[in-house]
């Protein structure tokens, strides 16, 4: 059996674009992904700057405690997060999907490793009278822009592809994200519309694939720098 359709056809894509509220699902997914990405990137940069720039009591203990969150299985957090979203009245809203994911420990770790630039550079800026926010935005940020871009792309891709947590929170079809909408065409009892499902899956994967294709160099360099600086 030929794995490729012959002759090639775009009928499934036409069906999706005409009979499927694709733009609504794209907007839902993009809105959640962009808010989560912006929040994670901002909190990662600010928290990492605090760990690098300031000396405060128990700094290493706090940082190591944050690293321990990497080892907490996501399944352990699902029930308390769901109950919290329920009490806040955020079920079946994009905010219920976004709220538990606005901060990322891995992002803080990577940004902290990237920000460990030579101390004389920071000391020179401080001696020139630079305030903390000036050190961050005028000295450090120009040096780590590629890393911030790389980590933001990873955040965006992860949020775009998120399935299980939105599945628990979102019920109304008008609020679904693309990964959830794809499930509508796949039936466990049979009768799955595989052609349309594959068309939706292809359209769903294109944005993160294109982003990664353009920014893979920055992403690889970020992880290499984090490993070297240890």
What pLDDT, in 10s, does the model give residues 192-202?
667 777 787 78
Residues of the chain with pLDDT under 50: 1, 188-191, 227-230
Q: 156 burial class (0-12, 13-18, 19+ CB within 10 angstroms)?
A: buried
> Residue 114: which of 147, 154, 155, 153 has the closest Cα?
147
- pTM (predicted TM-score): 0.81
Question: Can you give the pLDDT at residue 189?
Answer: 43
Asked if 53 contacts 131 with a C-beta cutoff of 8 angstroms, the reply is no
pLDDT computed for residue 19 by the predictor:
74
Classify burial at 109, counting beta carbons within 10 Å of its beta carbon; exposed 0-12, middle 13-18, buried 19 or more: buried
Please give the pLDDT value at position 44.
93
Which pLDDT does position 218 carry in this prediction?
65
Q: What is the DSSP letter of 4?
A: S
pLDDT digits (tens, 9 = 90+) for 138-186: 888 888 888 888 888 889 989 988 988 999 999 888 899 988 887 776 6
pLDDT the model gives residue 188:
46
Token pair belonging to 92:
């079946």
């Amino acid at each position: 059996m030929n794995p490729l359709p012959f002759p090639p056809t775009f009928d499934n894509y036409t069906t999706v674009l005409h009979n499927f509220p694709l733009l609504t699902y794209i907007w839902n997914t993009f809105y959640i992904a962009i808010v989560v990405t912006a929040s994670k990137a901002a909190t990662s940069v600010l928290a990492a700057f605090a760990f690098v720039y300031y000396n405060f009591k128990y700094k290493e203990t706090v940082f190591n405690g944050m690293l321990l969150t990497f080892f907490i299985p996501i399944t352990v957090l699902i029930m308390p997060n769901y109950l919290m979203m329920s009490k806040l009245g955020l079920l079946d809203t994009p905010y219920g999907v976004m709220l538990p994911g606005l901060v990322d420990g891995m992002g803080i770790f990577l940004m902290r490793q990237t920000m460990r630039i030579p101390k004389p550079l920071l000391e020179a800026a401080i001696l020139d009278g630079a305030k903390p926010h000036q050190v961050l935005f005028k000295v450090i940020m120009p040096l780590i822009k590629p890393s911030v871009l790389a980590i933001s792309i990873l955040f965006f891709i992860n949020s775009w592809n998120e399935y299980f947590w939105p599945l628990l929170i979102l019920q109304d079809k008008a609020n679904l994200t693309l990964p959830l909408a794809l499930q509508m065409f796949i039936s466990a009892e049979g009768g799955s519309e595989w052609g349309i499902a594959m068309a939706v899956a292809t359209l769903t994967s294109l944005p993160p694939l294109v982003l990664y294709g353009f920014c893979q160099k920055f992403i690889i360099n970020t992880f290499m720098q984090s490993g070297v600086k240890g």
